[in-house]
Amino acid sequence: MRTEGLAAAEALCVHSLGAARWVLGDLVGADELMSRSVRSFAALAGSPERIPSPVNIAEMCTGTGTGCVSVRFVFEETLQPFTEISCAAAVGYALANHLDATRAIVAAITPGQMSLPTPNDGWDVRALLNHIISGNQWAAELASGHTIEEAEPASTAT
């Protein structure tokens, strides 16, 4: 698709597949696809091409207390499914959805798992969580117009 000039359409499709994986409960698959869509949209941020706004994902509780039943659903934020946005704006949509998919994975980590190894050499779960948290804090600073040199992320997970 990239050689045909359809890189933005491909990124949008990958994002939509990530949302579908999330709805189906495949959080790891959703996380991988959402991450890929973020990278793809970011690579196209300077492009003048406009795309339909990506779908958003959300999780709601349908009950109260600890027995709350979680419902996952996909929705159009604008309720106008054919609103076109820039690829740069799509990065924000994709990041928000990627963070929601990642949140569900992180929420399942127990304190006893913090010292377990990850596929990344030399990284345990705690180090990876600290990296994710720090990266999100950097992203917020960068999105508000600061440079990496000016950004000062807050503390990390313990």
- The tens digit of pLDDT for each residue in 93-146 reads 788 778 777 877 888 889 999 999 988 888 999 998 888 777 767 766 666 666
Full-model pTM:
0.65
- Distance, CA of 134 to CA of 132 (rounded, Å): 6
What pLDDT score does 14 carry?
Answer: 93
Q: In 55-103, which ranges are E strands?
A: 56-61, 70-75, 84-86
What pLDDT score does 6 carry?
Answer: 85
Q: In the chain, which ranges are E strands?
A: 50-52, 56-61, 70-75, 84-86
- Distance, CA of 91 to CA of 142 (rounded, Å): 13
What pLDDT score does 132 carry?
Answer: 78
What pLDDT score does 45 carry?
Answer: 84
H/E run at residue 80: none
Greater pLDDT, 154 or 5: 5
- The tens digit of pLDDT for each residue in 21-78 reads 887 888 888 888 988 998 898 888 888 888 888 877 765 555 555 555 555 555 555 4
- Distance, CA of 147 to CA of 144 (rounded, Å): 9
Residue among 56, 140, 54 at smallest CA distance from 90: 54
Residue among 45, 138, 139 at smallest CA distance from 90: 45
